[in-house]
Amino acid sequence: MLHFSQLGEGPPLIILHGLFGSGRNWTTIARALSTEFTTFSLDLRNHGDSPSNPAHSLADLTGDLTDWMQEQALGRSSILGHSMGGLTAMDFALKFPDKVDSLVIVDVAPRAYGHRHEREFNALRADISKCRTRSEVDSVMAQFLDDPVIRQFLQMNLIHAESGFRWKIPVEILAKANFLDGFADHAGEQFTKPALFIIGGLSDYVAPEDHATIQTFFPNAQIVTLPDSGHWPHFSHKKVFLEYVQAFFRRNKHTT
């Protein structure tokens, strides 16, 4: 069973984090949206406090979401997903459109992605077992990953071991995961209900040519680009991100 946190009252809104993240990363956003929704911030498999599993495909992630919704006896829900969570949300919506009220997808498109996290995995494979402080961990990681913001994000997965630190996430399982596979199986399928795609203008996850693909699968999609944002607009541009999301949901009220 997937771990999750729940806030607020109202129609259900499921929040799905990206690779290396967890539901905890979305606490501020979930709290802001909980004035109009019951928000469920999930830890996807091999992340946060959810169980580890050697299988980590898009079908696995979508299957977990399906099972979790059945366990919670949730009816039609809105879903907000970032990156890996966005791929999961899109896959689920195309497979089960009657179970989804509306979608918010953050900086990812319905297409195949090559493996693009080699620096992050190299940093996660570094030996941190003898580190005594987080600053020591950061120094070790900096040999492989020069962006301090990404290092800080990854370090949210640190836990204390007997003699130092270790990673909570199963690094090698995630390194071999094939959840970045594309949407070829959905050829000809559409999710025609409201969808909002928020794109980071400084990110390379969604190219201009991807917009036509988005509209093919999600013909009722609104696409918004935040020009100064990277891959984490919900973190770097939280205020404007929330403004777009809240306006979208208010225009498309849950009707069940």
**What is the average pLDDT across 198-211?**
96
Residues 128 and 244 placed together within one structural domain of the fold: no
In a domain, 256, yes or no: no
In a domain, 123, yes or no: yes
* Cβ proximity of 100 and 121 under 8 Å: no
CA 32 centroid distance within chain? 18
**Which pLDDT belongs to residue 161?**
82
Cα separation of 175 and 161, whole Å?
22
Q: Which two tokens stand for residue 230?
A: 């990277």
Q: Which two tokens stand for residue 162?
A: 């007997």
Mean of per-residue pLDDT scores for the chain: 94
In the chain, alpha helices (H): 27-33, 58-71, 84-95, 118-125, 134-142, 148-154, 171-175, 210-217, 233-236, 238-251
Q: Which two tokens stand for residue 239?
A: 């205020």
What percent of the chain has a predicted confidence (pLDDT) above 70?
99
pLDDT range class, residue 254, cuts 50, 70, 90: low
Residues 154 and 102 placed together within one structural domain of the fold: no
pLDDT over 50 at 255, yes or no: no
Residues 97 and 30 placed together within one structural domain of the fold: yes
Residues 100 and 128 placed together within one structural domain of the fold: no
Domain that holds residue 243: 4-114+180-251
In a domain, 163, yes or no: yes
* Cβ proximity of 43 and 52 under 8 Å: no
Residue for token pair 């370090």: 155
CA angle 198, 250, 220 (to 5 degrees): 50
Cα separation of 32 and 217, whole Å?
29
pLDDT over 70 at 256, yes or no: no
In a domain, 16, yes or no: yes
Backbone φ, ψ for residue 155 (5° rounding):
-70, -10
pLDDT in tens, 131-164: 999 999 999 999 999 999 899 999 999 998 877 8
Residues 109 and 11 placed together within one structural domain of the fold: yes
pLDDT in tens, 78-107: 999 999 999 999 999 999 999 999 999 999
β-pairing, 12-16 vs 38-42, is parallel
**What is the average pLDDT across 224-252?**
96
**CATH number where 210 lies:** 3.40.50.1820
Residues 45 and 159 placed together within one structural domain of the fold: no
Q: Name the 3-class secondary structure at 139.
A: helix
Residues 75 and 184 placed together within one structural domain of the fold: yes
Last residue of a domain, one of 134, 160, 175: 175
Give the number of domains in the chain. 2
DSSP string, 64-110: HHHHHHHHTT--SEEEEEETHHHHHHHHHHHH-GGGEEEEEEES--S
**Which pLDDT belongs to residue 180?**
74
* Cβ proximity of 81 and 90 under 8 Å: yes
Number of H helices, E strands in the chain: 10, 9
**What is the average pLDDT across 187-216?**
96
**Which pLDDT belongs to residue 155?**
96
With 0.85 as the threshold, say if the pTM is over it.
yes
pLDDT in tens, 64-77: 999 999 999 998 99
Query: Which residue would you say has higher pLDDT here, 47 or 114?
Result: 47
The DSSP element (H or E) to which 210 belongs, if any, is helix 210-217
Q: Which two tokens stand for residue 144?
A: 């492989």
Residues 91 and 147 placed together within one structural domain of the fold: no
pLDDT in tens, 12-29: 999 999 999 999 999 999
Residues 164 and 192 placed together within one structural domain of the fold: no
Residues 200 and 91 placed together within one structural domain of the fold: yes
